[in-house]
């Protein structure tokens, strides 16, 4: 049985009041779950674990740097007789010899080798911290993308209900001759499009959930509960302050600085290649007594060293070390320049999203809700057509979705900015 038109309008207006309620009001956001996921990712992600093992390899390699080569033990028979090789008392010159020798680099080389290896360890430590920042940013960006999907699904569910009620209203009006069949068909089409959007959003959420679980290194089908709404926080700092924070905290800058210091050590080591390395040797010769000799034991001691006469090779080593140092210095300046540009771009994006969110909160959403109410009232008074009512409902849904996308994008840009400077942003609150 067809419900009276007035009853349909009453129920529809009640539903509209629920739809245009302040869904965009700032809700308190707790970062506990996000912080926990970040901590789990840093503790369990296999890329992090592999990097930590690589650091241990570098540390063990550094322990080997600057150590002396093993001493050489020498055993020999000196001046033995071929006719009777084991008769040591027949010939006075025959002796059993034991000797030790040790290679010694020129003074200062070992210390420089250790210093260079220590800089390698330091660079690897900063690389791991840089990877921490990248992983933290990826987890946060994925988290806020899921948050946006959740808000979109919530808005979509309310809009589907509203459009369904509009569809029922159009069918009722059509049955009493106050609406066109195209109104019914248009409402049916919009509802079908929303159902399609719901399917697509659900698929995107599953994909993002799998991405988040992969970053945390847990089964990809681990459920992620509905994420609370994000909120806009004040812009954290100005360009100059953020550049100073990056200079003080960004691990990538510190890793390059460590490599520059290593290249300087390499240059000093190359300079010392013009000095010789030494080999110390000592031999003890035990002789047997004979009829003509008392067989006194003897010893010999020697020092030998290489002659650094290959000047071209050594000059090339010095030039190579100098070129490496200059290259790394230029790379450091390139990275600084990239950070400055990225900070400026991110601040511009933050300001844009902050202003857009304020416009949505302070005017656009309320205006769209008012337009919907007015259009419904006009439709009731036969002063407008059904298509305008439907268009107003869809416009409100799209604007609410754009608002939540703006807030999520703002949060993702904050995560990017945090990674750029290498530390928590000043005054940032969740």
| Structure confidence at residue 191 as a pLDDT band (50, 70, 90) | confident
More confident residue, 295 or 96: 96
Q: Report whether pLDDT(19) > 60.
A: no
Mean pLDDT of 184-202: 84
The pTM of the whole model exceeds 0.85: no
Distance of CA 216 to the CA centre of its chain: 13
Checking if the pLDDT of 164 tops 90, the result is no
pLDDT band at 174 (very low <50, low <70, confident <90, very high): low
In the predicted structure, residue 204 carries a pLDDT above the cut 60: yes
pLDDT at 16: 42
The two three-digit tokens of residue 228, written as one number: 């609370």
Q: Which residues contact 187 (CB under 8 A, 6 or more apart)?
A: 163, 166, 167, 170, 386, 390
Taking all residues of the chain, what is their mean pLDDT, rounded to a whole number?
A: 85
| pLDDT reading at 154 higher than 80 | yes
Q: State yes or no: pLDDT of 172 exceeds 80.
A: no
pLDDT of the residue at 20: 41
Percent of residues, the chain, with pLDDT higher than 70: 87
Lowest mean pLDDT, pick from 47-51, 57-61, 80-84, 359-363: 80-84
Residue 10 binned pLDDT confidence (cut-offs 50, 70, 90): very low
Q: What is the pLDDT of residue 90?
A: 73
Under the banding of pLDDT at 50, 70 and 90, the label for residue 173 is low
- 32-46, 124-138, 161-175, 380-394 — which is least confidently predicted? 161-175
Instruction: Identify which of 23-37, 228-242, 294-308, 317-331 has the greatest average pLDDT.
Output: 317-331
pLDDT (0 to 100) of residue 176: 63
Contacts of 142 (CB under 8 A, 6+ apart): 208, 211, 212, 215
- pLDDT band of residue 13 (cuts 50, 70, 90) is very low
For β-strands 278-286 and 298-305, DSSP reports them as: antiparallel
Which range is least confidently modeled, 152-166, 177-191, 203-217, 319-333?
A: 177-191
Lowest mean pLDDT among 39-48, 292-301, 345-354, 410-419: 292-301
């Amino acid at each position: 049985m067809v419900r009276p038109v007035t009853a349909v309008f009453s129920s529809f207006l009640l539903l509209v009041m629920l739809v245009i309620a302040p869904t965009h009001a700032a809700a308190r956001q707790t970062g506990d779950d996000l912080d926990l996921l970040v901590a789990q990712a840093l503790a369990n992600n296999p890329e992090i674990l592999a990097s930590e093992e690589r650091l241990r390899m570098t540390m063990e390699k550094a322990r080997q740097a600057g150590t002396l080569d093993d001493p050489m033990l020498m055993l020999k028979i000196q001046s033995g007789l071929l006719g009777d090789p084991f008769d040591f008392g027949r010939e006075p010159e025959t002796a059993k010899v034991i000797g030790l020798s040790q290679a010694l680099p020129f003074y200062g080389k070992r210390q420089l080798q250790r210093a260079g290896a220590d800089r390698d360890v330091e660079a690897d430590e900063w690389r791991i911290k840089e990877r921490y920042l990248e992983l933290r940013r990826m987890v946060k960006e994925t988290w806020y993308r899921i948050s946006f999907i959740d808000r979109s699904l919530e808005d979509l569910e309310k809009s589907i209900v509203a459009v369904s009620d509009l569809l029922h209203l159009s069918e009722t009006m059509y049955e009493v001759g106050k609406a066109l069949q195209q109104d019914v068909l248009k409402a049916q089409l919009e509802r079908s499009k929303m159902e399609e959007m719901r399917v697509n959003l659900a698929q995107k959420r599953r994909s993002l959930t799998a991405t988040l679980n992969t970053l945390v290194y847990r089964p990809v089908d681990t459920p992620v509960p509905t994420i609370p709404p994000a909120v806009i926080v004040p812009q954290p700092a100005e360009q100059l302050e953020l550049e100073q924070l990056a200079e003080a905290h960004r691990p990538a800058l510190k890793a390059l600085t460590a490599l520059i210091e290593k290249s300087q050590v390499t240059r000093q080591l190359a300079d010392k290649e013009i000095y010789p390395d030494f080999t110390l040797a000592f031999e003890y010769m035990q002789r047997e007594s004979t009829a003509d000799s008392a067989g006194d034991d003897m010893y010999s001691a020697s020092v030998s060293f290489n002659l650094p006469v290959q000047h071209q090779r050594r000059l090339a080593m010095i030039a190579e070390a100098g070129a490496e140092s200059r290259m790394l210095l230029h790379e450091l300046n390139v990275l600084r320049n990239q950070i400055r540009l990225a900070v400026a771009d991110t601040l511009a994006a933050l300001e844009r999203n902050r202003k857009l969110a304020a416009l949505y909160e302070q005017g656009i959403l309320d205006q769209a809700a008012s337009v919907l109410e007015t259009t419904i009232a006009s439709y009731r008074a036969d002063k407008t057509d059904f298509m305008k009512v439907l268009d107003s409902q869809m416009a409100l849904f799209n604007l609410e979705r754009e608002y939540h996308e703006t807030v999520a994008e703002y949060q993702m840009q904050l995560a990017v900015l945090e990674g750029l400077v290498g530390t928590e942003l000043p005054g940032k609150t969740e």
